[in-house]
Structure 1
Amino acid sequence: MPNNQTALITGASSGIGFELARCFARDGYHLVLAARDEAGLQEAANKLKAEFSGLQTTVVAADLSTHEGPQQLYDATKARGLQIDVLVNDAGFGEAGLFVETDLQKEIGIVHVNVMSLMVLTKLFLRDMVARDAGKILQVGSVVSFLPNPRQAVYAASKAFVLSFSEALQQELKEQKSGVTITILCPPATETNFFKVAGAENTKVGQSDKATPEEVARGGYEALLKGEARSLPTFGAKLNFASSALFPDSLLALMMQSQMQEEKK
């Protein structure tokens, strides 16, 4: 049954974003699905409506790798008269390889999507939520938010930004005694198209057993509803976090580097 609340999910056409959309759909939210690929979004919306009877969806194609993308997405929700009760900043991608050899334009896109767009969308929708004294935001970070990651240097740094930025906002909201909460989801390596897009399919971590998008989404969703500060949704994620507290960064970087080595065929 509809619950009269609306959730906006970026990166909703596949992977963790799509599974998060399923979690909200199950509880009757009106969904606003956003990503660059409009055809992929529409396909995702059709799948969700086939699974959940009576589901309301709005599809908004937005390129968050551009300067204008986040504002255009915000304006699109306003133009449709939608109040966003929950914002899920899931959109993101990576690039694997030695920094001196990787694609600079792709890495600029990573910073735009993973950092700039997340920051702008948080600013725009958080202002509205604070004014209403109600709302929730789920920021999708990563276990590499805590870990220096050679051969994924820009991606890991972008996720470190998500962690630091969101934790600072959590404290600001406490200071304001706000009814708004921010939750940081920190998944481990997950079975999505991330490794294909990053060019890391043949690495040790790319070939390893991974978490499922369903279990990651479920952990993040439950933490969000409870207003928890952070979700480490699997045992592997908790182990990565524990390692970050136990070992010096130099050793962590060495350990992560070994995970990014190409597997011999």
Structure 2
Amino acid sequence: MSSTEAADVPAVPSPVAPEHRGGLSREVLLVLGLSLGSSAVYAVLAIVDRLTKEIPLSGQSSSLNNSVTPDRPWLDLSYQLVAIGFGIVPVLLALYLLRRVDPPVPYAPTRFLGFDLRRPWADLGGGVALAAVIGIPGLGLYVAARALGINTQVAAANLTAQWWTIPVLVLSAFQNAALEEVVVVGYLMTRLRQMAWRTGWLVAASALLRGTYHLYQGFGAFVGNAIMGVVFGLVYVRWKRVMPLVVAHAILDMVAFIGYTLAKDHISWLR
């Protein structure tokens, strides 16, 4: 980041007085309980369920982006769009709550999180680079985890073939990216910083949460996503912008969702 860019970075909220940190802790628990924290709890239950079945973990599958009413495409599209819409609500809630910071900052939370369009080309370039750094080793880790029998077979997209299939998968990728990066990185790390957590601990907490809510896919997914969380957390600390993370995450999901859709009938190990 150049000196000019650094000067343009808004100050993030500073730590609050110790007597106010309990309120922030309760707020964080409520936000996570309504979003990815509950997903993490369900993922833990799911992996326990999988491990206690007679079928080994490697013989099980995790299905994402499923059709709800495949025999009625118009209704299926409605279900998909409604799910994407509700998936953005925790992002809006986190941004709303971050407007209430003490001491106050003279910026909207979208700015001090870097969740805006002020630097589109830098965010795009950084996002593409991050996607390459995470995606290529991530695919290798998935293949290795499958070979070791510690991960399920992940069916990344299972919508019926309709004119709207690819657009919906693209929207789903951006919804996932916004939800995870704004809530798990931007919001959570900001609040933990306000509670005077050290940088290493808040990065670790964000990464552990990211890994945990992917645990339903297996231990390979947990490790891979936790590593991704560490990288993304450190990048956020350095760049002070969540938008490159959103771009990178959206690219990774689009490649996974659309690539699986186009290749599953032609590559045997994807099925």
TM (norm. structure 2) is 0.31
Q: Of the two, which has the highest radius of gyration?
A: 2
Of Structure 1 and Structure 2, the greater helix share is in: 2
Of Structure 1 and Structure 2, the greater strand share is in: 1
Between the two structures, name the one with larger relative contact order (CA 8 Å, sep ≥ 6).
2
TM (norm. structure 1) is 0.31
